[in-house]
A and B are shown apart, each in its own frame.
Chain A
Amino acid sequence: MVEARDISVAIGGKRIVSHVDFAARPGEVSAIVGPNGSGKTTLLKALTGELAYTGTVTLNGHDLSVMKPVEAATLRAVLPQSTALSFPFTVREIVRLGLIGGRSGALPGEDARLPERALARVDLDGFAGRFYQELSGGEQQRVQLARVLCQVWAPGLEGRPRYLFLDEPVSSLDVKHQLIIMNIARDFARRGGGVVAILHDLNLTAMYADRIFVLHHGQLAAAGAPTDVLNDELIEKVFDCRLKVGALPAGSVPFVLPQSAA
Chain B
Amino acid sequence: MAELSIAGTPGRVMKADGDRSARARLVILLLCLALALSVFLSLTSGASDASAVRVIRDWFTGAVPADAALAGRDRLIVYDIRMPRVLLGVLIGAALAVCGAVMQGLFRNPLADPGLIGVSAGSSLGAVAIIVLGTTWLAPGTLALGTLALPLAAFVGGLAVTLLLYAIATRQGRTSVATMLLAGIAINALAMALTGILIFMADDRQLRDLTFWQLGSLAGATWPKIGTVGPVIVLALSAMPFLARGLNALALGEATAGHLGIPVQRLKYTAIVGGSAAVGASVAVSGGIGFIGIVVPHVLRLAIGPDNRYLLPASALLGASLLLLADAVARTIVAPAELPIGIVTAVAGAPFFLWILLRKRGIVDL
Contacts and interface: CB of A to CB of B under 8 A. Distances in A.
Contacts of A140: 3
B262 A50 contact: no
B261 A74 contact: yes
Contacts of B259: 48, 50, 69, 72-73, 76-78
B1 interface: yes
A70 interface: yes
A101 B262 CA distance: 8
B18 A151 contact: no
12 contacts: A68-B263, A69-B262, A78-B256, A83-B252, A83-B256, A85-B2, A93-B20, A93-B305, A129-B14, A134-B5, A137-B3, A151-B260
Contacts of B18: 90-93, 128-130
Contacts of B2: 84-86, 133
B7 A132 contact: yes
Interface in B244-262: 245, 248-249, 251-253, 255-256, 258-262
Contact of A86 (B8, B307, B363): B363
Interface string B292-306: 000000000110011
A15 B349 CA distance: 49
Nearest to A151: B260
A224 interface: no
Interface residues of B, number: 39
Contact of B256 (A80, A88, A116): A80
A126 interface: yes
B294 to A, nearest CB: 14
Given A83-B253, A133-B2, A88 B16 contact: no
Given A86-B2, A92-B19, 13 more contacts: A50-B258, A50-B259, A69-B264, A73-B259, A78-B256, A84-B2, A92-B18, A97-B248, A100-B249, A100-B261, A101-B260, A129-B15, A140-B3
Closest 4 A/B residue pairs (Cβ)? A73-B261, A131-B7, A90-B18, A92-B18
Contacts of A101: 260-261
Contact of A84 (B1, B15, B258, B262): B1
B110 interface: yes
A88 B263 contact: no
B266 to A, nearest CB: 9
Contacts of B262: 69, 100
State the main secondary structure of chain A at its contact with B.
Answer: mixed
B4 interface: yes
Contacts of A72: 259, 261
A84 B6 contact: no
B16 A70 contact: no
B222 interface: no
Contacts of A88: 6-8, 301-302, 305-306
A87 interface: yes
Q: Quick one: which of A83, A137, A140 has the most chain B CB within 10 A?
A: A83
A39 interface: no
Contacts of B214: none
A81 to B, nearest CB: 11
Contacts of B260: 73, 97-98, 100-101, 151
A249 B263 CA distance: 53
Contacts of B1: 84
Nearest to A84: B2
B5 A131 contact: yes
A1 to B, nearest CB: 19
Interface in B5-44: 5-8, 14-20
A88 B263 CA distance: 24
Interface string A91-128: 11110011011000000000000001000000000101
Interface in B96-143: 108-110
A72 B305 CA distance: 29
Contacts of B7: 88, 131-134
B103 to A, nearest CB: 13
A213 B6 CA distance: 40
B249 A97 contact: yes
A93 B311 CA distance: 14
Contacts of B248: 93, 97, 100
Contacts of B19: 90, 92-93, 128
